[in-house]
Structure 1
Amino acid sequence: MTSDRERFVELLSKLVDGSMDSRDRKQLRELLHKEPHWRSEYANYYQIHALLHWQHASQLDESGEEGTNSRSDGRLSEKLTRWTWAAAAAVGAIAATVLLSMSLMEDSPGPVASVTPQPLGFQVLSVEGVPQGPQLVSYSPDQRYTSDRIAIEGGVLRLRMDSGPVVRLIGPSEVEFLDSARMRMLKGKLTARVEEGDEKLIVETIHTRIVDLGTEFGVDLAEPTHTDVVVFEGAVELRERGDLTDGPAHTVLREGEAASINDQMQVRRIENVVMQEQEASWTTKTVNSASVIHSVRDNTRDPSSMFYYRIVPGGMHEDATAYVAKRHQWNSLEDRGIPKWLEGADLVETFGGDRSNSDLEIDVRLREPGMLYVMYHTRNAPPRWLTDSFQDTGFEIGMEYPRGLETGIPMNVGAGQGRLLPFRVWQRRVAASETVTLGAPEQANENGDSMMYGFVAKGLSSEDL
């Protein structure tokens, strides 16, 4: 019985002498998936073959004979000069190495355009500002459609796939359906929510495959150099485009994490995600956001840390979320509510786990003059970086400390409700483009209490300037 190794060598020979048929090509692709370390050997083998052709052509050139260049697909055959033939043979073979490597090493996802889109049924749930026109498909709410692709020039189209997931396309966007639960994103931005009982959703881009694990996540392909992925709930796997296996994923992103992936499958943390609560919109491009906060950066260098700071313009109000991927909420301690000078400020959700990070430094930059407010747990002595640079307002706000999900006890709603921990509010006036560095929280006191602080920012009114 022929071993995989022997069959691989045999298939390489068929590849270079042109005798490979479709079954051979399929088997070679399967072997390259099964044995990834053979891929470089495959590429080297083909390049050596190209160089031998070039050397042979040079010898023919010296003997005064003409060479003939024939494309492998048989569509073009012409006589070239001896030097052109030699160069074309080598360059063409090396180029074929790259192209064949792409088609052979990446299975059905292939190069992004290699899989034929399939018609899929979906129901439109809502349409907001999507342009209409004679060359554009008109979508109407509560209508069912069947198509292999969706393209919108602007606005927002929200739909439910027949397999269950709800997808929100933000235009300009274009996607193709590859099967009932797999789509290829060609451009734009989307948010997908997959509930229990829905079929697993896979979103492919030119950089990665995103496999949902029961979640709500966003994908942004606004730029050709990278794909941004943000997880709002649950988790997703990031896989190489040709990885159709059930083996370990390249990267797993969980709730509150975001990453940018390039075509080399290099994964980089995204530190800021700006979200509008009411509109359910989001962006990783803080430069163009409506927030008074320009950016939030920290000194975390752990490559496994992919948490983002969630910036919510105008998000400071009763029951506002305090931490990324946690249920803690900001509430006034009394039923009279949050004071006007604090209400409506741009909120930053921090990381609850940083309460024990003694080396933490957070750089906050505002895009316009404003007030920066820090909410600090009163059970811990305020650190020097806070007392030296901020002024105590004398006001305290509460953080609702939630009970475990396993208890089934819901969060309380409204001012003065729930298990509230007191936080003192400190303030500092900040100039436009000024960067303020926040330090580490004080470590746990004798009672073991320690809580991560929060912060918000609010632009100054014309009277304050």
Structure 2
Amino acid sequence: MKSRRAVQGKLVANAAVLDLIDLCLTDRATPDQWKTLSQIIVDQPEVRDCFAAQAIASARLSMIAGFEEGPQPTPASRPLAEEPPSPNSLWRKRFPPIRFQVSRGAIATLAIAVALICMGYGLLVGYQHWLSSSGPTPHLASGPVPPAVRIFGIDGMTEPRELHAARVFELPSGSYQAETSSGARIQLTGPIRVRVESPLKWRLFYGKLVADVPTEGYGFTIQTDQARVIDLGTRFGVAVDRRGDTQVVVYEGKVELTSGRQQQVMTEGDAFAIPTAGQLDPLEFTDANAFLEATDIPPSVIGQVRHNGAPHHATYQIVRAGFQEDALAYTDRVHQWNGVLSSGLPPALIGLDYVRMANDWKYDELDSLRDDLEITYEFTRPAVAYLLVDERLSKPTWLRRDFVDTGWIIGLDKGSHRDPETRSDYELGQAKGAGASIDVLLRVWRVVLPEGGELKVGPIGNQKDDWVVPCLVARPI
């Protein structure tokens, strides 16, 4: 007879994880907390065992409490008037029910099984609910939500800056220290821009960091445009330098490096530069201090923009790593980009470079809407470009030929505008955050430029009444 593996009841050392387990087992957790605990359980076997042990203990306590209540007392007297017997009662008199004798041990086993199944189902439902409805700001439950990261040394502050998941932080030149709720200790060198996807996953847009990850943080991941680095119990560095190249160095232990279709397990002393996804160029090993030397912000993957719009209208801006909720869409409007649903913008677009156009390019020299607008973009390196096109415009041949429809829809919150020359005046409300005050829908089209170079868009037609100039978002390959 095979013996079953006993669930160990050893507590984990991370207090934040214990708080999460307590909130989830007492049904006080938010979707964000369910999601965080789900990921930690998958990545860390010791947390999974701890959660299972505490779940079993909770089920047993509930069962014991139920047994101690004992049978309920019978009524002292009968009602004054009895109701006539029902057909069911007559049936029970003729055919008395069969009574089964069930041991308390069997009841206890069944209760524990049902409790674990219900908690597992609740974990799954909570995680699915988070996927469909979570926004960028976590909502507090009856217990505190542990911050995903604490950053020390900002502007001489004695108290750390605390950030929850789904937040972007950007720091100027300087050295900083950070701690994640999963236990990782990280040295940061600015200028640096990071999106905290979760306590166990960061997105590095530019800058340098060295992560020292304990057992509790196993699986800590750094994602860049060119690579993904997964901790396997180690101390490692990741940088996006002034050229936009990703560099990875391992000081202790090992990491799993994935770039394009290539996967490499790096051990102590290994170092690679990844200028393009899938290209791994060996580097000489360097110490942490040299690796963390300050550098400049890498240039945008978008070089410059040319157009045939009227020259007297507003110019454009290239925004480095700035596409996000409520980002300003045009240089001559207060329009803002937003997700259509409360779940927000497509995650693949957040934090990418984009061109802040001039919406007045759609007018000619006589301030009439034109139908021959053409825009040419120059890319400094291989790139993936996303074109956001007003759904009210027709889909020209060049768009269907050169681009692929991603199926994503982006929202535009217009706000108010007044222009005495074009007479495009309107007064609209404007809200903060995703899923609110959406006035225009734009479809996202994708094109891959393996050599970089030029991308021509147009001619762009019009609807004779109102439309917005397409926006371009891009990332390096």
Higher relative contact order (CA 8 A, sep 6+): 2
Q: TM-score, normalised by structure 1?
A: 0.34
